[in-house]
Amino acid sequence: MITGFNTDIKHKGVVYHVQTEDKGVKNPKVETLIYRGGIILFAKRTPYNHVLDNESIEDVVTKLMEKQHHTMINEIKSGKFDEEREKTFGADLISDRSLDEVILDYLASDSDKTTETC
């Protein structure tokens, strides 16, 4: 098993943590996890069972790890995970509307849903 990589990337004021590791020859894959605030946003797993017989397997896996790690960093920098941030629970709760406006909107939408019964 090869030692992994850990990198913090700051993008648009948000810190992302990128962690890449080798899962070992018994589970031959390279795994990269992208975290934001301790939550996993994305996971990429690349199997390498096709190179298990290679004499220089450590070099091959190390290069695979480096490439995958840098690719994920570049995806963060390109904004790939910006949209994920907008989907975060509660991201749309901040508003310029007053509490009264929010309540009135809720009551209006709730009254639209009611139906008359006989």
pLDDT in tens, 11-45: 998 999 999 999 999 999 999 999 998 899 999 99
pLDDT at 24: 92
What's the rounded mean pLDDT across residues 46-73? 95
Burial class of residue 57 (count of CB atoms within 10 Å of its CB; 0-12, 13-18, 19+): middle
pLDDT at 18: 97
pLDDT at 92: 53
Q: Rounded CA gap, 103 and 109, in Å?
A: 10
CB contact set of 5 (below 8 Å; sequence gap of 6+) = 18, 19, 20, 21, 65, 66, 69
Q: What is the mean pLDDT of the chain?
A: 84
Q: How many CA atoms lie within 13 A of 79 on its CB side?
A: 3
What's the rounded mean pLDDT across residues 54-77? 95
Residue among 74, 76, 72 nearest 64 (CA): 72
- pTM, two decimals, is 0.68
Percent of the chain with pLDDT over 90: 60
